A and B are shown apart, each in its own frame.
Chain A
Amino acid sequence: MTHGSVAQKAETVPRSSMLRFKPVVRVPDRWGTPLALLLLILAWEIAGRLADAVFFAPFSSVITAWWSLMLSGRLPLALTASLQALVAGFGLATVLGLTIGSLMGLSRTVNYLLDIFVNTLMAAPLVALIPIIAIFLGLDVWARAAVVFLFSFFVIVVNAEAGMKAASPDLIEMARSFGLARRQIFRAVILPAALPAFMAGIRLGMVRAVKGMVTAELFMSMTGLGALIDFYGSQFQTDQLLAVLMTVVVVSLALGSVVKRADKRLSRWQLGASRH
């Protein structure tokens, strides 16, 4: 089992086993997401108008707030500050994670030397380690990058390790009997089989990296998006707060879709490679 891989999601919701009500209108499945979006915006707008301005803000005024934050340059500035730590931490986590995970998958000795630490820290609430990171590294960009690294590293390691074991032993056996050298077996059999798990690890690592980024900003240095969230929260300026929150969610989605797109491209390459 690929550790932490996400279950395959069917594109459509099966109908046959559902509770049966006579539907007022049949909604095709592809309308689901736009419809859900429309419903959310509508509910948000109505709830915002009904509620006290301190508690909630209607969608329209959140958009207005978002636009003025963009124009004033506060949001773009915060975003770049946030992304610096993300890029540094996540980049390092990807390179080191894939390397160490692969070594663990290939060598039993390396695996047994490291697996206790990896498995413990994989399950540990890493937030608790932030004070220690602050003691070692201070409160600057590098400290935030370290938090991002810590959040995303272990899931990449675990998936890379699983990927290295994904190639079927029969295939390896066959490659060996055809006289392929170890290096060739690695390139032609083991690596292509490992790619899906590598990408799964990178995808999950990216999700965790964004979490680490925001966590570090809220905990240690008040910069970036975290600082804006904290500021508008403490000022009870709910429309601005929601605008920044929306930005955080959209950014994490956008980064996720970048990884997904890279994954698709790579798997196309992998299919091409396996045909040779």
Chain B
Amino acid sequence: MLKPAWKARSSKWGLRTFSVVAFLVAWERAGQGNELLLPPFSKVVVAFGDLLISGELTAGFAVSLQAFVLGFGLATLVGLLLGFAMGRLRALALVFNPYLDILLAAPAIAFIPLMVVWFGLGLFSRVGVVFTFAVVIIAVNTYTGVRGVDPQLVEMSRAFGLNEFQLFRKVILPAALPLIMGGMRLGAARAFVGMVASDIILVSVGIGAVIQKYNATFRTAPLFATILAVILLAVGMMEGMRAIERRAYRGTKSLIELR
């Protein structure tokens, strides 16, 4: 028997609310008494408020996001160019494709010490880390998108006399855009991981420094609050980008997704 739609929807949100509330209550209970190990949820919320008011959180993110913006911007530029070039030139695809496949699966975090060797400790190496994390998935998605364009469509546009630039603008870009945007979203997620990782391991700056500070002094409530803020910011960013994609492609079929 089918339930009416409103009833199904309300039970769905009912269950979700229940599980979140149950989780928070369990956290609160578990935290009482051993605050050094697990601060209760209420204390974390208070600490979060304090961090916001004191501006520590925003100041930390402001520094961290510099590396994110520069690294992700650069990765987008290079990834798109490489992906497009590989999609249009067979020789480039043959040379680069095996390596992109390898680097897609390789742990980018292992390259952090190499960044230190190359760029020292500073903004350059942080940007390098963010770039390394993000660039491969953007290039692979762009390449897959460009290559997925129907060859007959390309053939026809050629027959109608479009030059390479017109072909790019009118045919390839629109057809490849869903995959490109998906690649940029996944690239942004990876770039964020790179940012957090480099701010903690590489140089203690920005939000990484805030985490390090409270970790070293065993002040777990602000530590948990900062980590929660990092996670919420990243998830919020992803959801935002996903919403933009969904709006852009409403009605089109589900996208192929690469990870």
Is A178 in contact with chain B by the CB < 8 A criterion?
no
Interface string of B172-209 (1 = CB under 8 A from A): 00000000000000000100110011001100000000
Check A35/B113 contact, CB under 8 A, given A1-B257, A116-B20: no
Beta-carbon contact of A249 and B106 below 8 Å: yes
7 sample A-B contacts, Cβ–Cβ < 8 Å, listed by A number: A1-B254, A37-B98, A128-B227, A135-B37, A230-B113, A234-B113, A252-B107
Beta-carbon contact of A125 and B113 below 8 Å: no
Interface string of A243-274 (1 = CB under 8 A from B): 00100110011001000000000000000000
Is B43 in contact with chain A by the CB < 8 A criterion?
no
How many angstroms from the CA of A180 to the CA of B235 in the assembled complex? 43
Is B220 in contact with chain A by the CB < 8 A criterion?
yes
Is B249 in contact with chain A by the CB < 8 A criterion?
no
Is A50 in contact with chain B by the CB < 8 A criterion?
no
Q: B16 contacts which of A115, A124, A131, A253 (Cβ < 8 Å)?
A: A115
Looking at chain A's contact residues, is the secondary structure mostly helix, strand, loop, or mixed?
A: helix
Is B230 in contact with chain A by the CB < 8 A criterion?
yes
Taking Cβ atoms with an 8 Å cutoff, the residues of B that contact A are 11-12, 15-16, 18-20, 23, 37-38, 88-91, 93-99, 102, 105-114, 116-118, 144, 147, 149, 151, 154-155, 164, 189, 192-193, 196-197, 200-201, 211, 215, 220, 223-224, 227, 230-231, 234-235, 238-239, 254-259
How many angstroms from the CA of A149 to the CA of B99 in the assembled complex? 27
Q: A112-B19, A226-B110, A233-B112 given. 19 additional CB < 8 A pairs?
A: A4-B257, A7-B258, A14-B147, A15-B90, A27-B94, A36-B97, A39-B95, A40-B99, A55-B118, A109-B15, A123-B234, A123-B235, A124-B235, A125-B193, A132-B227, A210-B107, A215-B107, A241-B117, A248-B110
Beta-carbon contact of A256 and B105 below 8 Å: yes
Q: A36 contacts which of B96, B144, B155, B238 (Cβ < 8 Å)?
A: B96
Is A181 in contact with chain B by the CB < 8 A criterion?
no
Beta-carbon contact of B227 and A252 below 8 Å: no
Q: A123 contacts which of B91, B149, B189 (Cβ < 8 Å)?
A: B189
Q: Which A184-237 residues have C-beta < 8 A from chain B?
A: 204, 207, 210-211, 213-215, 218-219, 225-226, 229-230, 232-234, 236
How many angstroms from the CA of A126 to the CA of B16 in the assembled complex? 22
Beta-carbon contact of B151 and A17 below 8 Å: yes
Beta-carbon contact of B117 and A114 below 8 Å: no
Closest A residue to B185 by beta carbon equals A123
How many angstroms from the CA of A36 to the CA of B103 in the assembled complex? 14
Beta-carbon contact of A54 and B91 below 8 Å: no
How many angstroms from the CA of A108 to the CA of B239 in the assembled complex? 23
Chain A residues within an 8 Å CB radius of B116: 233-234
Beta-carbon contact of A116 and B234 below 8 Å: no
How many angstroms from the CA of A13 to the CA of B151 in the assembled complex? 11
How many angstroms from the CA of A6 to the CA of B88 in the assembled complex? 22
How many angstroms from the CA of A230 to the CA of B115 in the assembled complex? 12
Q: B201 contacts which of A109, A120, A218 (Cβ < 8 Å)?
A: A218
Interface size class of chain A, counting residues whose CB lies under 8 Å from the partner chain: 35 or more
How many angstroms from the CA of A211 to the CA of B12 in the assembled complex? 34
How many angstroms from the CA of A212 to the CA of B154 in the assembled complex? 42
Chain A residues within an 8 Å CB radius of B256: 7
How many angstroms from the CA of A242 to the CA of B113 in the assembled complex? 10
Is A169 in contact with chain B by the CB < 8 A criterion?
no
Beta-carbon contact of B196 and A125 below 8 Å: yes
How many angstroms from the CA of A248 to the CA of B98 in the assembled complex? 17
Beta-carbon contact of A218 and B112 below 8 Å: yes
Chain A residues within an 8 Å CB radius of B19: 112-114, 116-117
- Give the distance to chain B from A195, nearest Cβ to Cβ, in Å: 19
